[in-house]
Amino acid sequence: MIENNKNMNLESLLKFIKKEHLRLMKFYKIKDRKRLKHPITIKIMEEVGELSQKILASDGFQRKEKLAKMKGEVAHELIDVLITVLILAENMEIDVKKYLGRAIDKRQKRPY
């Protein structure tokens, strides 16, 4: 459990992601981390699908029977996507802080 979830910062989040990645490897009995990236990628697609359904439902673009089943918030699904993407980054040994900084710099230079 992450201490003091109300004051989450990037360091705490990445520490959680590292632990979650190890927990997944242990749960699935995977010793070679490379074998976990495909299931994580599929999980991202599943989470994005759930997010899409919540967004559609929040704007009323679902069948009535689906709208009745759609309880919860878009924020929850969005965070599920974020966490799963970060687990994939951990799995692939991507330095999230480094590349996040680069992405922010690149976006700040855009003319819009």
Read off the CATH number of the domain in which 52 is found: 1.10.287.1080
First to last CA, the chain: 40
Task: Tell me which of 72 and 30 has the higher pLDDT.
Answer: 30
Q: How far is CA 92 from CA 5, 51, 67, 112, in A?
A: 26, 24, 37, 32
> Is the pLDDT confidence value at 35 over 80?
yes
Count of beta carbons in the 10 Å neighbourhood of residue 27: 8
Question: What is the Cα–Cα distance from 90 to 31, expressed in whole angstroms?
Answer: 15
In which domain, by residue range, is 92 found?
11-108
Residue 105: C-alpha distances to residues 9, 47, 97 (Å): 20, 28, 12
pTM for the model: 0.84
Number of domains in the chain: 1
- The answer to the question of residue 2 being in a domain is no
Question: pLDDT at residue 85 above 60?
Answer: yes
